[in-house]
Amino acid sequence: MKHDVLVVGAGPSGLNAARILAAKGLDVLVLEKKEEVGKHIICAGIVGEEAFRKFALSRDSILRNIQEIKIISPSSNMISYQHPRPFAYVVDRELFDKHISLGFANEVTRIETDSRVEDIVLNENSVEALVTQNGNTQKKYTARVILISTGVNYNLHKKLGLGYPRDFLYGVQAELDLGPVDCTHVYLGRDIAAGAFAWLVPISPDTVRLGLITEKNPEASFRRLMEMHFPVRLQKLDKTKIQYKPIAQGLMSKTYGERVLAIGEAAGQVKTTTGGGIYFGLLCSEIAARVILKRFQEGIFSESRMAEYEKSWKKALQKEIRIGYYARKLCAKLTDSQIESLFRVIQTDGFLPLVRERGNFDWHSDLLVQLMKRLPLWQLLISRFKKEKHEVSI
């Protein structure tokens, strides 16, 4: 059977694009390699308030709200930030994803799970996906357009002439029983999260998601996090419950081709400050859907026509991704003693009101620019960073 659109991957961005296209009457088939949508996802599961409003998301997956955050320095110095109202929510990712799939608007649009796309063949008037289902059955699906929404799996990109992420961070997370925790915690320090941060996110009265992203050695970093902050729990840690994943970083080109678009993490549409991909992926899935609908109206799916997608999503996100990327690179150069100095400055110099005024959970560039202007240490790091880039270019 020939479809209008094939979507490879049933994450939020792929499902949302399918939902929009189905609502416009297109025949959409989603192919998901897992046996069930939303299973075994490595994610802190924090979604900003703006995402629920902007994308009309169901709130049934919300486990608890986030209004207070405690940030812990390498020496356990603490900054507590209380927002005037909840600005984000912790969600059950399995339910979150499944609720998006419930928005499919016609009977012929469906999801086929346990369906791994092994190869894609571009023909003159169609695209073919060669699929292994249920571990052994070989099937072929044909469509006019294919959307690649495979997360951090880039096995199909080279075949399709798509680009590859500029850089990667490495994430690790486990769900643990730690007893009651009052709010979300963020941990800083080179020993536990070189170049990034660690988190503790309560999801029930006794259970938390504990994880981190780092530039290298995620397994060793996670162990040090446990040793420093939860040494008693480390003795009972079940290593089989610890999950790992790479996280794309930096602007990615190219994310389009003849009859092909990549969305979400598969297109590097990830917040370079935090590694979160849900909001950017949903935003770009809407852009992708608009472009695809225009191509169906005119009946032309050439590479030059599909390029509109990349121009549009980069216009929306290029500033955010670039500023976030370089800000994180600058932070990676901070020593623990410099982090402690920043904590003292932030606690005494009116920075928290600035965060309250200018902060946005999903859009970070404006606040980052303002902080860089006001922190002398960051000015020193920027000068050092520019000097290093100059020396490398020479």
Asked if 239 and 250 count as a contact pair (C-beta separation under 8 A), the reply is: no
Return the beta strands (E) in 123-166 as ranges: 127-133, 137-148
pTM for this entry: 0.92
Three-class secondary structure of residue 213 per DSSP: strand
Question: Which H/E stretch holds residue 115?
Answer: strand 115-122
Place of tokens 């020593």: 335
Query: What is each CA distance from 41 to 38, 53, 199, in whole angstroms?
Result: 6, 23, 16
Question: Which residue from 204, 217, 193, 336 is spatially nearest to 275, judged by alpha carbons?
Answer: 193
- Please count the CA atoms within 13 angstroms of the CA of 166 that sit on its side-chain side: 14
pLDDT in tens, the chain (394 residues): 699 999 999 999 999 999 999 999 999 999 999 999 988 888 889 999 999 999 999 999 999 999 999 999 999 999 999 998 999 999 999 999 989 987 665 555 789 999 999 999 999 999 999 999 988 889 999 999 999 999 999 999 999 999 999 899 999 999 999 889 999 999 999 988 988 999 999 999 999 999 999 998 999 999 999 999 999 888 778 887 899 999 999 999 899 999 999 999 999 999 999 999 999 999 999 999 999 999 999 999 999 999 999 999 999 999 999 999 988 888 888 889 888 888 887 777 667 777 878 788 999 888 888 777 766 655 555 555 555 454 434 3
Q: What does the alpha-carbon distance between residue 241 and residue 25 come to, in Å, rounded to a whole number?
A: 42
